C-alpha cells in the first residue's frame, strides 16, 4: 500500500471524524440551547414567583409591622451592645422619647443608675450562654422623669449579626399594687402581731397552728410551747370542753361566733375571755381552721359578779325595807289608834272647857300624825306601784260641791274667791275611789288656797263622753297665786321638796302631798300637769276616764245610826286581839251597843274559847304572838270545821298580799286599822244578819228592826206595817208592768225605792233579792227572772205580815 493511499485514508478518516465531531457539536449546541431556553423559562417563572412572593411578603410585612408598631406592648430591637435599632410606636409613646432619640441610643441611658450594671450583666450572660429567651423586670426612666417598670422578654436572634428582639410590657401598675400590698401586708402583720387582743390560730382539729404575742402574754405560754398542742386540752376545764366542741362544729361549718370562756393559764390560774371566732379558708375554699381573737374580760366578769351581788343585796334590802315599813306602821298605828280612840272616848265624858280644848288638840295632833304616817305609807306604796284603789259608786258632783264649800270658808277668810264650774249631771254616779279623789282635790285646792294671797281659785270639772258608759272627766285647779318658778316645776313633785321659799306667805306643806297626789292620779289613769308663771298663778290639771254607774244610797254621813245599833243587840262577838289597849277600845265601843263580847289574847286562846262557846262573829287581829290570826283562822276552818262563822280580820293592811292571805285562810272580811266606829258597826251589821237570819230561816219577815224602830209603840207598828203592805203591793203591780215591757230601768228604780222599807221589815233574803234587782248588771233575761223572784218574795212577806198582824 503506498503512502498516498495511506494518507488519503487518514485524511478521509480525519474528515469523517471532523464531521462527526461537528455533528456532535451541533447536537450539543442544540441541547444547550434547549436547556438554556428551559432555564430562561424557569428563570422567568421563578422571577414572577419571586415577585409575587416578595409582594406577599411585603404585604405581610406591612401587616406585622403595623401590629408590632401599634402593639400595646413595647417592642424594640437592639444589637448586643444595647444600641436600639428599632422601636415600635408604643415604645415611643410610653417612653416619651422621640423615634430619632431612641434609634441609635443605648438602652443603658434609660435605666436608673443603680440598676445599670445588674441589667448589663444579665444580658451579657444571655448572650454568652446563647440563651434563646429571657424575662426580666426592670425600671425605666421616661422622658418626663417618671420611672415605669417594664416586664420584658428578650429573644436572642443570631443571624448575620446578633440582635435582641425585645417585647416589654408596662407593669408599673402591678408593681405599684405589689408594693402597696406589701405595705398593707406589713401593716396588718404588724397590727396582728401587736394587737392588744390575743390571736390564736388553730387547724380543723383544734391543734394550735400559731399563737400571737399578746395571746402568749395573756396565757403565759410561748408560741413554741403551744404549737402543735391541742388547744382544748391546754386551756379548758372539763365543763368548758363540751361547750368548745359545739363551737368547733359550727366553726367547721363556716360559722363565726362570739362567746365567753374560762381558760387556764400556764401558772394554773384562770381568767375569763371573750372569744370572737371565725373560720378561715384555704385556696380551695375549704375550711382550713379557725382564728380566735381573745379579749381578757376577767375584770368585767368580776364587776358583773359584784353587780349581781349588789343587786341581790339591794333587792333584799328593799324587801327588808318594805317589811320594816309595814311593821313600823303597824307599831305606830296601834298606839296612835289608842291615843285617838281614847281621846274620843274621853270627849264623851264630862269635861270643863279647858280640858275639852286640850283633848281636842290631842285628837287633832293625833290625826295629823296619823295622816303623816298614811302619807308616808302611801308614798312608799306609790313608789312600789302598789297603790290600790277602792272603787265604788260615788256621786262626783257631791264630792266637788263638798270641797268647794269647804274651801270657800277658808278662802273667804283670806279674801279669796272660790269659783266652781262644771257640766256634771245631778245624781250621776261614777265608779271611782272617792276617798283618794278627795285626797287629791284637798291637796291641790288646798295648795292653791295656801299659795294665793289675793285673787281667786277656780275649780273646773268638765266631762266628755268616751263610750256608752265611760266619760272622760277633766279637772282643773287654777289660782292667781305666787306661781312656781320654771326651774322648780319638776321638782315640786319630788318627795320632801318645796318650791323655793322666796315668798312671804311662809306656806309649806309636808312635802309629800304633790308626789302622792300625782301617784294617785296616775293610778287612776290620768296625768297631773302643771303650768305656772311667777306672780301670775298656777294651773294644775288632770283627767281620766270614769265609768258611769247608778248611785248607791247616800252613806256619807258619819253618824252612827241607832237603828242599826239596835240590830246588834245580843250578838255574840269574840274579839281576838293581843294589844290590851285595842281590846279596851273595842270593848268600850261595843258595850253600849248591847253586844255580848268575849276576848282572847291570841289565836290559841281564841280556838279554846270557840270550842267552849258559840259565837256569831269573830273579830280577829292578824298579828299576834303564839298563834297569829291567819293560822288561827285556818285551824278554825279546817280542824274545828267551822265554816259558817264569820271571821273579820283586823289588819293594818300595810303589806301587799296580806288581804289575800286573810281571804285564803278563810276569813270573810277585814277592817283596816284605824277604823271608825261607823266602819265597825257597818261590818258587824253585815255579818250579824247571818245569825239573825238563821233564826228566822223559815220566814220572810224580820220584826226585830221594826220593833226597835217603833220602841214598843204597837199603834205605830201596825200603821207602819199597813203602810208597807199598801206601798209594796202598788210597787208589785208596777213591777209586773215593767217586766212585761222588759223595762229594766224601771225595775231597778222600783227596787231602789223598795229597798229601805224592805230592809226594816223583811228578812235578809228578801233584802238581798231587792238589792240584786236594783244593782246587778246582768242580762235582760236574768234581770227579769230576778224581778219575778223578788215579786214572789215580797208577796210572801206580805202574806206573813197579814198573818202576824191578822190583817
Partner 1 sequence: MKGVVFTEFMDMVETSFGEEQLDLLLEEADSDGVYTAVGTYPHSEMVNLVVVLSKQTGKPIGELLEFFGNYMFQSFTRLYPSFFKEATTSFDFLERVEDYIHVEVLKIYPEAELPRFQTHRISDKQLQMIYKSERSMGMLAVGLIRGCLQHYQETGDVIIEGESEDGSHVTFLVEIE
DSSP per residue, 314-375:
HHHHHHHHHHHHHHHHHHHHHHHHHHHHHHHHHHHS---HHHHHHHHHHHHHHHHHHHHHHH
In the complex with partner 1, the residue whose CB is nearer, 21 or 470, is: 21
**Min dist. Cβ of residue 38 to partner 1 (A):** 16
Q: Least distance in Å: CB of 28 to partner 1?
A: 8
* Alpha-carbon span 662 to 264, nearest angstrom: 56
Task: Candidates 8, 11, 21, 385: give the one binding partner 1 (CB under 8 A).
Answer: 21
The single residue listed with the C-alpha cell 285556818 is 634
From the list 16-24, 44-52, 250-258, 631-639, the region that binds partner 1 by CB under 8 A is 16-24
Nearer to partner 1, 17 or 57 (CB): 17
Q: Does residue 118 interact with partner 1 by CB under 8 A? A: no
Residues in the chain: 807
Beta strands in 48-172 (DSSP E): 74-79, 84-87, 133-141, 147-158, 162-170
Judged by beta carbon, residue 31 or residue 44, the one nearer partner 1 is 31
4 binds partner 1 (CB under 8 A): no
Report if residue 24 touches partner 1, rule: CB under 8 A: yes
Residue 37 beta carbon to partner 1: minimum distance, rounded to whole angstroms: 18
CA angle (769, 771, 773) in 5-degree steps: 70
Q: Which three cell numbers stand for residue 599?
A: 276576848
Residue 13 interacts with partner 1 (CB under 8 A)?
Answer: yes
Determine which residue in the list 8, 11, 25, 307 makes contact with partner 1, applying CB under 8 A: 25
Minimum Å distance from CB 151 to partner 1? 56
CB nearer to partner 1: give 21 or 626.
21
Compute the distance between CA of residue 413 and CA of residue 427 in angstroms, rounded to an integer: 31
Report, in Å, the least distance between residue 32 CB and partner 1: 11
User: Which C-beta is closer to partner 1: that of 7 or that of 756?
Assistant: 7
32 binds partner 1 (CB under 8 A): no
- Distance of closest approach, residue 2 Cβ to partner 1, in angstroms: 11
How many residues contact partner 1, by CB under 8 A? 14
Least distance (Å) between residue 64 CB and partner 1? 44
- CB of 17 or CB of 182, closer to partner 1: 17
Q: How far apart are CA 632 and CA 620, in angstroms?
A: 9
Calpha distance 493→540 (Å, rounded): 12
- 15 vs 58, which CB is nearer to partner 1? 15
Taking the complex as a whole, the smallest distance from the CB of residue 45 to partner 1 amounts, in Å, to 24
Number of Cβ within 10 Å of residue 124's Cβ equals 12
> DSSP states of 166-203 as a string?
EEEEE-HHHHHHHHHHHHHHHHHHHHHHH-SSEEEEEE
Compare residues 9 and 243 and give the one whose CB is closer to partner 1: 9
Binding range to partner 1, per CB under 8 A, among 21-29, 46-54, 297-305, 313-321: 21-29
Query: What single string gives the DSSP state of each residue in 374-441?
Result: HHHHHHHHHHTT------EEEEHHHHHHHHHHHHHHHHHHHT-EEEEEE-PPTT-EEEE-HHHHHHHH
Close Cβ partners of 674 (under 8 Å, ≥ 6 residues apart): 333, 336, 337, 340, 341, 370
Map grid coordinates 264650774 to a residue.
Answer: 421
The least CB distance from residue 17 to partner 1, in Å, is 4
State the nearest-atom distance from the C-beta of 136 to partner 1, in Å.
Answer: 51
Helix axes 658-665, 629-638, angle to 10 degrees: 20
Q: Contacting partner 1 (CB under 8 A), which of 11, 17, 30, 310?
A: 17
**φ, ψ at 731 (rounded to 5°):** -65, -35
Q: Does 6 contact partner 1 by CB under 8 A?
A: yes
The C-alpha cell at 313 is 343585796
> Could you count the other beta carbons within 10 Å of the beta carbon of residue 421?
10
Q: Does 8 bind partner 1 (CB under 8 A)?
A: no
Omega before residue 101 within 30° of 0, cis: no
Q: Which is nearer to partner 1, 6 or 241 (CB)?
A: 6
Q: Is 18 in the site for partner 1 (CB under 8 A)?
A: yes
Nearest approach in angstroms of CB 29 to partner 1 is: 12
Q: Which is nearer to partner 1, 2 or 711 (CB)?
A: 2
Which residue, 26 or 79, is less far from partner 1 as judged by CB?
26
Whole-angstrom distance between the N-terminal and C-terminal Cα of the chain? 226
Distance CA 364, CA 651 (A): 23
Measured from the CB atom, the residue of 28 and 390 that comes closer to partner 1 is 28
d(CA 145, CA 142): 5
Confirm or reject binding of residue 20 to partner 1 (CB under 8 A): yes
Q: Minimal distance in Å, beta carbon 33 to partner 1?
A: 16
Residue 16 makes contact with partner 1 by CB under 8 A:
yes
Residue numbers at the binding site for partner 1 (CB under 8 A): 1, 3, 6, 9-10, 13, 16-18, 20-21, 24-25, 28
Amino acid at each position: 500500500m503506498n503512502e498516498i493511499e495511506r494518507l488519503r485514508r487518514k485524511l478521509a478518516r480525519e474528515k469523517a471524524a471532523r464531521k462527526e465531531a461537528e455533528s456532535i457539536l451541533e447536537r450539543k449546541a442544540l441541547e444547550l440551547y434547549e436547556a438554556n431556553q428551559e432555564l430562561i423559562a424557569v428563570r422567568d417563572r421563578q422571577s414572577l414567583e419571586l415577585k409575587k412572593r416578595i409582594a406577599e411578603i411585603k404585604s405581610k410585612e406591612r401587616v406585622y409591622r403595623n401590629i408590632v408598631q401599634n402593639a400595646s406592648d413595647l417592642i424594640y430591637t437592639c444589637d448586643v451592645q444595647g444600641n436600639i435599632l428599632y422601636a415600635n410606636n408604643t415604645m415611643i409613646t410610653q417612653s416619651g422619647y422621640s423615634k430619632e432619640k431612641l434609634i441609635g441610643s443605648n438602652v443603658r441611658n434609660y435605666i436608673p443608675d443603680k440598676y445599670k450594671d445588674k441589667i448589663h450583666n444579665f444580658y451579657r450572660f444571655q448572650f454568652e450562654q446563647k440563651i434563646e429567651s429571657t424575662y426580666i423586670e426592670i425600671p425605666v426612666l421616661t422622658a418626663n422623669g417618671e420611672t415605669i417598670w417594664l416586664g420584658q422578654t428578650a429573644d436572642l436572634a443570631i443571624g448575620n449579626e446578633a440582635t435582641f428582639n425585645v417585647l416589654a410590657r408596662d407593669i408599673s401598675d402591678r408593681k405599684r399594687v405589689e408594693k402597696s400590698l406589701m405595705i398593707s401586708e406589713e401593716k396588718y402583720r404588724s397590727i396582728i402581731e401587736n394587737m392588744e387582743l390575743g390571736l390564736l390560730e388553730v387547724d380543723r382539729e383544734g391543734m394550735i397552728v400559731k399563737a400571737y404575742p399578746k395571746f402568749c402574754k395573756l396565757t403565759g405560754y410561748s408560741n413554741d410551747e403551744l404549737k402543735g398542742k391541742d388547744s382544748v386540752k391546754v386551756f379548758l376545764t372539763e365543763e368548758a370542753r363540751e361547750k368548745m366542741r359545739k363551737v368547733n362544729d359550727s366553726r367547721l361549718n363556716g360559722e363565726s361566733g362570739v362567746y365567753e370562756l374560762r381558760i387556764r393559764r400556764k401558772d394554773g390560774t384562770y381568767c375569763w375571755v371573750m372569744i370572737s371566732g371565725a373560720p378561715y379558708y384555704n385556696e380551695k375554699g375549704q375550711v382550713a381552721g379557725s382564728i380566735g381573737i381573745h379579749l381578757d374580760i376577767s375584770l368585767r366578769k368580776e364587776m358583773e359578779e359584784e353587780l349581781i351581788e349588789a343587786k341581790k343585796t339591794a333587792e333584799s334590802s328593799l324587801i327588808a325595807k318594805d317589811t320594816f315599813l309595814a311593821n313600823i306602821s303597824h307599831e305606830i298605828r296601834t298606839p296612835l289608834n289608842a291615843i285617838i280612840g281614847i281621846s274620843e272616848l274621853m270627849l264623851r265624858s264630862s269635861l270643863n272647857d279647858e280640858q275639852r280644848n286640850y283633848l281636842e288638840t290631842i285628837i287633832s295632833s293625833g290625826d295629823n300624825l296619823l295622816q303623816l304616817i298614811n302619807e308616808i305609807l302611801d308614798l312608799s306604796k306609790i313608789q312600789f306601784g302598789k297603790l290600790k284603789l277602792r272603787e265604788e259608786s260615788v256621786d262626783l258632783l257631791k264630792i266637788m260641791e263638798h270641797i268647794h264649800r269647804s274651801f270657800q270658808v277658808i278662802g273667804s277668810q283670806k279674801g279669796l274667791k272660790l269659783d266652781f264650774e262644771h257640766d256634771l249631771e245631778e245624781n250621776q254616779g261614777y265608779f271611782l275611789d272617792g276617798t283618794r279623789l278627795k285626797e287629791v282635790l284637798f291637796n291641790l285646792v288646798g295648795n292653791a288656797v295656801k299659795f294665793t294671797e289675793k285673787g281667786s281659785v277656780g275649780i273646773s270639772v268638765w266631762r266628755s263622753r268616751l263610750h256608752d258608759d265611760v266619760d272622760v272627766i277633766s279637772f282643773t285647779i287654777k289660782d292667781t297665786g305666787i306661781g312656781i318658778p320654771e326651774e322648780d316645776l319638776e321638782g315640786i313633785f319630788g318627795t320632801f321638796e318645796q318650791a323655793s321659799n322666796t315668798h312671804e306667805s311662809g306656806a309649806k306643806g309636808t312635802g309629800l302631798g304633790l308626789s302622792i297626789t300625782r301617784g294617785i292620779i296616775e293610778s287612776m289613769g290620768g296625768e297631773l300637769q302643771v303650768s305656772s308663771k311667777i306672780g301670775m298663778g298656777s294651773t294644775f290639771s288632770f283627767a281620766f276616764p270614769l265609768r258611769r254607774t247608778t248611785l248607791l244610797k247616800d252613806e256619807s254621813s258619819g253618824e252612827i245610826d241607832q237603828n242599826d245599833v239596835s240590830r246588834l243587840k245580843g250578838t255574840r262577838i269574840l274579839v281576838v286581839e293581843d294589844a290590851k289597849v285595842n281590846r279596851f277600845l273595842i270593848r268600850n265601843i261595843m258595850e253600849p251597843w248591847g253586844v255580848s263580847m268575849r276576848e282572847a289574847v291570841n289565836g290559841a286562846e281564841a280556838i279554846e274559847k270557840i270550842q267552849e262557846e258559840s259565837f256569831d262573829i269573830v273579830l280577829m287581829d292578824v298579828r299576834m304572838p303564839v298563834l297569829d290570826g291567819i293560822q288561827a283562822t285556818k285551824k278554825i276552818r279546817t280542824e274545828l270545821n267551822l265554816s259558817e262563822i264569820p271571821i273579820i280580820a283586823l289588819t293594818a293592811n300595810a303589806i301587799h298580799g296580806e288581804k289575800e292571805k286573810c281571804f285564803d285562810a278563810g276569813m270573810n272580811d277585814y277592817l283596816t286599822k284605824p277604823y271608825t266606829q261607823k266602819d265597825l258597826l257597818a261590818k258587824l251589821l253585815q255579818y250579824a244578819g247571818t245569825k239573825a237570819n238563821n233564826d228566822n230561816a223559815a220566814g220572810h219577815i224580820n220584826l226585830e228592826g221594826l220593833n226597835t224602830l217603833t220602841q214598843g209603840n204597837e199603834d205605830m207598828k201596825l200603821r207602819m206595817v199597813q203602810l208597807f203592805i199598801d206601798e209594796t203591793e202598788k210597787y208589785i203591780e208596777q213591777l209586773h208592768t215593767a217586766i212585761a215591757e222588759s223595762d229594766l230601768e224601771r225595775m231597778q228604780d222600783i227596787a231602789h225605792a223598795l229597798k229601805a222599807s224592805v230592809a226594816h221589815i223583811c228578812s235578809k233574803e228578801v233584802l238581798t233579792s231587792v238589792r240584786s234587782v236594783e244593782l246587778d248588771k246582768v242580762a235582760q233575761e236574768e234581770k227579769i227572772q230576778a224581778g219575778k223572784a223578788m215579786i214572789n218574795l215580797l208577796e210572801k212577806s206580805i202574806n206573813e205580815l197579814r198573818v202576824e198582824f191578822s190583817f
